[in-house]
Amino acid sequence: MQKISLFLFQHKNSTQIGIQFKYNTDILDHLKKLETVKWSRTYKAFYLQQSKENQQLIFNHFRKINCFIDYEKLKENKPLKTKTIAHNVLKLPSLTESYQEEINRFKKWLTQNRYSPNTIDTYVEVTVFFLRYAILKNVTEFSKRFIEAFNYDFVVVPNKSISYQNQCINGIKKFLQFKHIKVEELAIKRPQREKKLPTVLSKAEIKQLLNATTNLKHKTLLSLIYSAGLRIGEAINLQTKHIDSKRMLILVQNAKGKKDRYTLLSETLLVLLREYYKQYKPKEYLFEGQNAEQYTSASAQKVLQHLAKKVGIKKRVTLHTLRHSFATHLLENGTDLRYIQELLGHSSPKTTMIYTHVSSTSIQKIKNPFDSL
């Protein structure tokens, strides 16, 4: 019997029931049938809000697939404290009702301005922290000095990442724009991101990963991402009508930057896709989970990490690693950088240029002076 562990933790000012188990695709697919279940990055667990009804719901749901439920930690009734550093340092109060209404209007405004769901979630999240900080400091007018103080207390002191600091700046600026508030030039310099090179797998490692799975859906999805250089969001949004087998192209619609583009359709992948289609018969999306809903990026990422561990790849492998590997292998095969830019959907050639730094072709041609000593 598969073991399901339940525990309590604090999140979003309320107690949640955490759900953890050893990775298993059947359990994962079954769990996602619960529409209200969410994922916590902090605790690496799925969760539902704590209530007797939800507790019973979890018990009944997992008993359907004959799982053993360990609920000893629920009996202790001692929720784990939130791990977020900013909360521990600042002890931010809850939003007032008026500010909550403001946040709802801000979210609606962002939606009307056609920002992506991920961008909306990020901007709303940082703005909530900003307003809670304002309540803590008893501030009602957002001056330049106050915003700089928030940046220092909330980002610099807890040593948040450079990427997160930029997200905070963007989110606050959008909120001020929404409120028609003009603030003099901020003395917050946008720090430059670390120029880290992308992780790239060799062709042999890609082959190892794909050969390690007997699940046709998993193999087809990962093969598609690599062979077409897709982002995971682009892959799970594909429909059968987007596969043009006559022209051997894949249409990627409404990708990053709200742009459409074409990318390559591999002949080997086409054979795999036809076999996959006959077996799974997808209805709307090319890749679907249980009950014909859209397949999730979290499920795909779990599959890849499991395979990487299985074949012994020590590099930090993500779904985006397959896209990086596609671009690097094209470059090493002599494909012009401009074509790679088009296939990846990069708006600037500077973004694509990073693959010249990870390609081994030119470096391998250089004779090492140590060899001639």
61 carries an active-site annotation: no
The whole-model pTM stands at: 0.58
* CA 54 – CA 75 distance, rounded (Å): 15
Q: Which of 43, 133, 295, 355 is catalytic?
A: 355
Q: List the catalytic residue out of 61, 231, 261, 324.
A: 231
Report the SS3 class of residue 39.
Answer: strand
> Pick the catalytic residue: 30, 256, 302, 306?
256
How do strand 68-70 and strand 3-11 relate by DSSP bridges? parallel
Cβ neighbours of residue 42 closer than 8 Å, sequence gap 6 or more: 11, 82, 83, 84
Whether 355 is catalytic: yes
- Asked if 226 is an active-site residue, the reply is no
Q: What distance lies between CA 272 and its chain's CA centroid?
A: 26
Distance CA 15, CA 51 (A): 9
CATH (domain of 277): 1.10.443.10
- The string of DSSP codes covering 235-273 is HHT-BGGGEETTTTEEEEEEETTTEEEEEE--HHHHHHH
Query: What is the arrangement of strands in the sheet containing 38-40, beginning at the earlier edge strand?
Result: 38-40, 45-49, 14-21, 3-11, 68-70
The residue annotated as part of the active site, out of 11, 219, 329, 346, is 346
Is residue 194 one of the residues assigned to a domain? no
Domain that holds residue 21: 3-82
- Domain shared by 154 and 215, yes or no: no
Is 354 found in the same domain as 252? yes
Q: Which of 217, 323, 324, 329 is catalytic?
A: 323
Tell me whether residue 320 is one of the annotated catalytic residues: yes
Q: Is 280 inside a domain boundary?
A: yes
Model pLDDT, residue 87: 39
Q: What is the CATH number of the domain that holds 110?
A: 1.10.150
Residue 119 in any domain: the answer is yes
Q: How many domains does the chain have?
A: 3
Do residues 349 and 270 share a domain?
yes
* Contact by Cβ (8 Å): 344, 327: yes
Predicted confidence pLDDT, tens digits, the chain (373 residues) = 688 889 888 876 678 899 988 777 778 888 888 878 888 777 778 888 888 888 888 988 888 888 888 888 887 776 765 544 333 456 788 889 999 999 999 999 999 998 887 788 889 999 999 999 999 999 888 888 888 888 888 887 777 777 788 888 889 989 999 998 887 665 555 555 556 788 899 999 999 999 999 899 999 999 999 999 999 989 999 999 999 999 999 999 887 767 899 999 999 999 999 999 999 999 889 998 877 788 888 889 999 999 999 999 998 899 999 999 999 999 888 899 899 999 999 888 888 888 887 776 666 666 767 666 6
